[in-house]
Structure 1
Amino acid sequence: MTSLWRDGRFVRYWASSAVSQFGDRVSEVAVPLVAVTVLDASAGQVAVLTALAWAPNLLALVLGAWVDGRARKRRLLVLMDLVRAVVLLSLPVAHIWGHITLGQLYAVVLLGGLAGVVAGCAWQPLFARIVPRSSYVAANSSFSAARSASFVAGPAVGGGLVQALSAPVAVLADALSFVVSALLLGRAPVDEPAPAARSGTTGLALLRDAREGLLFVLRQPVLRAGLGCTTTINFFTFLAGTGMVVLFADRELRLSPGAIGLTLGIGATGSLLGALTAPWLSRRIGVGRCVAVGAVLFPAPFALAAVAGGPAWAGALLLGAAQFLVGLGVMWFDVPLNSLQAAVTPDALRSRVVGAYSTVNYGIRPLGAVVGGVLATTVGLRTTFVVVAVGGVLSVLWLLPSPVPGIRRLADLDDGPAAERTADTAHGEEGAHAA
């Protein structure tokens, strides 16, 4: 099998993703600091900022249907990079002129999030065009490794840029990363087939197309099990998101800001190791079993964090170990599951399937965060962590009765029950849609 790294198109797409991911880590530090340090935003206003960043995912189902009808998805991806670059660039420009406002900051995260959802829906069909099916796991591992590496170094660089240049000017780094990403994508042409004939272009037709994508996910056994498992894990792990972990480290473990940052950095190294080893584990125990192992290992270490205590160094060590295992489990779950999803999804439905997943999977995250806040207030952070561990581990029950654990290689899908069901479902949906 030819190495992916000898394929110039793959290298450009990977580099595009790596550069923009690193820029995103800078913005994740700088944008909230714009609100807090420049605009003196309250906790409620910061919460609105977070909610607006996630809100566009609720439109992903319809956006995915719209993207599936576009003929040139690479051009759309380039356009979304440029849109995000311009939107982010407005912050340092407004700051220089002394006219930056909270309303502008809200608009930036909302428009940037919207462009990100469209780009995510456009990316999956391109991934399937540039990566051979036999290399899906290796390719997803490479993309996830770049993302994990950005979490190791990006926040530190972001903090340094904010300190040296101010928060609004630091955002310029993310804007430039999208320009570089667009240039790289512009030099990586892909043979894109014309989209399948659609029943119309009206809003009603778009809703029908979106419904078709959602129904395909719910009827296809691998996708249905994956969505149920992922949504359950995300709900429970967002009960104790990064904010709760930081609060726990500060209030319960009495760690210094430097120690908290180091602890979170250790978690990021776990993600990097998980991304790099996911292909190896998938070969050793099978792709489906790797997903199941990750589904357990991802949330379970929160129980370890719940018992952290004693001297500050001991608490930091235990919390760091828990974060490392969480990061390892995330990647052992994500890399093979993303590969399975790509393998069982027909080309004509890829963007709609991504849209359906994003609407449900990301839509549950704000709800989990709200419930986690109520739970932590009423029963305490340690008990909340135990709930996360127990509830998250139970997500594996979605996988056990499905075909997923029995899938050793992606090639098994060519002749197995999942493949037959995929073909039958796609055929039935297309017929119903045409009628």
Structure 2
Amino acid sequence: MTDPGGLFRHAGFRRLWTADLLSQFGDRITVLALPLLAATTLGASAFEVASLRTVQTLAYLVLGLQAGAWCDRIRLRPLLIGTDLGRAIAFGSVPLAAAFGVLTLGQLFGVVAVAGVLAVFFEVGHQTYLPRLIDRGRLIEGNARLQANTSVAAVAAPSAAGFLVQYFGGPFALGLNALSFLWSAGWLGRIRQAERVPRPENQAPLLKQIREGLAFVHRHPLLRPLAETTALGSLSQSFMLAISVVFLLDEIHLTPGQIGLISSTGLLGAVTGALVGQRLAAWIGEARCLWLSGLVLAFGYVLVASTTTGAGVLCYPIGNFLAAGAITVFNILQVSFQQAVTPENLRGRVNATMRFTIFGMAPLGSLLAGIVAETAGTRASLWIAAAGLTLAGLRLLCSPMRRLRRLPDAYVAGDPGSRSA
């Protein structure tokens, strides 16, 4: 940890980090470019835009747990490369169809369905691959650097996507997304470090292996409330992700470029969270950081839901700043703790279980957001998101986490506070 270069001196991690940055940036361009393309070019309704998000995340609900069991058995670098190449082909079909004048909303649904399946394996494999690449003692540093990619992409890419859609069109933006996946695959292909694949003790049936991952999370006194918190939080966040573009277009009357700009104003919060998250955890404790970040995230969404025209539009960037910073800190600590306390032969399944709780709820949230938006308006969806995240933050506050300062290094049955000093 005294090495000023940190993990960037590790060639394998440096290439993984670069590939991840490119992949995350391309993926986040899609988050804004896709609904803008559907709403402004193809005339999709609020429900249809929300349904795109539902289809995109549905694969986590269907395949999320199986993906974890498979990832525990195989080499992951070829899997990551293959999923990047597959997504490049899927998204590359959009500008090609647009160039021939045959792009339809149906094709967009097909593209996001394929990309969603590939994203499941990339996300689960990505988290499982990191502990095979670096030492356990550097997991927090590694996750902090990777989470910085996610956070920066989440708030910087929308700005680029908004202006790309406004001045070059949605198909062009998705074409750049396809190129980012190709470039990511190239960097992953340059990793030369041998992958440490754990030898399975037995080849138990797939269903039994899935149950083992679920059981480990269910029995753990801290992973269980974390899983429940993230499930409720994901359900709530999907309301905003599914409907925020339509809200800003129809109710706040912003242009695509302005939407991109206002969506990226959380960049400072995300970068700040990535930079100070580790130090903040060392100062006040990882456990306190987790439940505090959950409450700050909820408050950020309250501000987003309060956005109005005129001066009230400032609620959106302020809320984005708070939410982006809180999500960054929360994810760094949650993922690092999860990786550290999970036995190596269970990491893929536990990663998949936790990802399942996050993304498995997303299609349900997106679908409900579309229904609420059609019947009660887009603002009602945002207020439901704020209420749900408030309940998620309170769930963690009411768990054993509240009595701890530090998170334990390992699971000790009946003693979640072994490092509660």
TM-score bucket (shorter structure): 0.7 to 0.9
CA shift, 1:69, in A, is 2.0
Q: Which residue of 2 aligns with 1:278?
A: 277
**Residues 29 and 371 of structure 1, relative CA distance in 2, 3 Å threshold:** closer
Question: Matches of 1:358 and 1:77 in 2, distance apart?
Answer: 16
The answer to which of 339-348 and 126-135 deviates more is 126-135
**Residues 9 and 324 of structure 1, relative CA distance in 2, 3 Å threshold:** same
- Structure index of larger Rg: 1
Summarize the alignment of residues 75-154 of structure 1 with structure 2, pairs less than 5 Å apart.
75-154=78-157
Question: Matches of 1:11 and 1:196 in 2, distance apart?
Answer: 29
Summarize the alignment of residues 222-261 of structure 1 with structure 2, pairs less than 5 Å apart.
222-241=222-241, 243-244=243-244, 247=247, 251=251, 260-261=259-260
CA shift, 1:172, in A, is 2.3
CA shift, 1:374, in A, is 5.7
Q: Secondary structure at the match of 2:390?
A: helix
Question: Matches of 1:211 and 1:183 in 2, distance apart?
Answer: 35
Q: Which residue of 1 aligns with 2:310?
A: 312
CA shift, 1:373, in A, is 5.4
Q: TM-score, normalised by structure 2?
A: 0.85
Summarize the alignment of residues 312-391 of structure 1 with structure 2, pairs less than 5 Å apart.
312-313=310-311, 315-372=312-369, 388-391=385-388
Question: Matches of 1:383 and 1:183 in 2, distance apart?
Answer: 43
Summarize the alignment of residues 178-189 of structure 1 with structure 2, pairs less than 5 Å apart.
178-188=181-191, 189=193
Gaps of 5+ in 2: 417-421
Q: Which has a greater percent of helix?
A: 1
Question: Matches of 2:126 and 2:332 in 1, distance apart?
Answer: 16
Q: Secondary structure at the match of 2:213?
A: helix
Q: Which residue of 2 aligns with 1:63?
A: 67
Gaps of 5+ in 1: 422-435
Contact 1:89 1:175 in 2 (8 A): yes
Specify the code of the residue in structure 2 equivalent to 1:332. V
Q: Which residue of 2 aligns with 1:191?
A: 195
Per-residue CA distance 1:184-222 (angstroms, 9 max, x = gap): 11111333234314435xxxx222221221122111222
Count of aligned residue pairs for this structure pair = 411
Contact 1:88 1:174 in 2 (8 A): yes
Q: Which residue of 1 aligns with 2:8?
A: 5
CA shift, 1:232, in A, is 2.0
Question: Matches of 1:381 and 1:193 in 2, distance apart?
Answer: 47
Q: Identity of counterpart residues, as a percentage? A: 36
CA shift, 1:146, in A, is 1.8
Contact 1:237 1:392 in 2 (8 A): yes
Aligned alpha-carbon RMSD (Å): 3.1
Per-residue CA distance 1:87-120 (angstroms, 9 max, x = gap): 2222233334444444432221111111110111
Question: Matches of 1:112 and 1:367 in 2, distance apart?
Answer: 18
The reply to whether residue 26 of structure 1 matches residue 26 of structure 2 is no
Question: Matches of 1:307 and 1:28 in 2, distance apart?
Answer: 22
**Residues 184 and 264 of structure 1, relative CA distance in 2, 3 Å threshold:** same
**Residues 383 and 295 of structure 1, relative CA distance in 2, 3 Å threshold:** same
